Amino acid sequence: MIYPVHLNPNIQTPVYANLSNTENILLLPPLDYLPLVHLMKHAYLILTDSGGIQEEAPSLGVPVLVLRRTTERPEGIQSGNALLVGTESQAIQREAARLLQDPGHYRAMSQTASPYGDGQAARRTVEALLHRFGRQAARPEEFAPRT
C-alpha cells in the first residue's frame, strides 16, 4: 500500500505514529501531479477522501472508495466507478475486501469511463476561439446552431 501523506500535522502525526512501522505500507510525502497520476494508473484500488482523485481515477479505470459521508462529486458515484463508503473502518474494510475478492464487482467498478466529460474540452475551446477571432473559417461542428 502506498500512502502519500498530506502535509497537515493533524494528519501526519497520527498517520506516522500508527503506520510508519507497518509492513507493506509505504508512507510518502505529497506527490506532484504526474507521479501521482502514474501511481494511480498502476493501482489496483484507490481509497481517498480527495475530491481531485475522485475525478481522476474513473478515467484511469481504477475503482475508488471514497472515504467521506458525502461528496461534491457525485458523478463518479453515479457512473459506478466510485463508491461512497463513509469513514467507519468496518465499512471501508468490507468494501475493500469485496473489490479484492469479487472479480465481477471489481470489473464493474473498473470500467474506464470519465463521467466528467470526454477529454476534448481544450480542443473545442481552441477551435471556438480560433473561429471567433477569424483565424479559422469553419465554425466548429460542436458549436453549430442546433436545428
Q: Is 51 left (phi over 0), alpha (psi -120 to 50) or beta?
A: alpha
Please give the tally of structural domains in the chain. 2
- Residue-range definition of the domain harbouring residue 126: 117-147
Specify the pLDDT at position 121. 81
pLDDT computed for residue 143 by the predictor: 61
Q: In the prediction, which pLDDT does 46 show?
A: 97
Do 135 and 145 share a domain, yes or no?
yes
Decide if pLDDT at 145 tops 60. Answer: no
What per-residue confidence (pLDDT) applies to 144? 55
Instruction: Please indicate, yes or no, if residue 13 is contained in any of the structural domains.
Output: no
Digit-coded pLDDT (tens) for 10-55 = 999 999 999 999 999 999 999 999 999 999 999 999 999 999 999 8
Residue 88 sits in a domain whose CATH number is: 3.40.50.2000
Q: Dump pLDDT digits (tens) for 56-93.
A: 888 888 999 999 999 999 988 998 999 999 999 999 99
- Where helices occur in 20-132 by DSSP H, the ranges are 33-41, 51-60, 74-79, 89-101, 103-109, 121-132
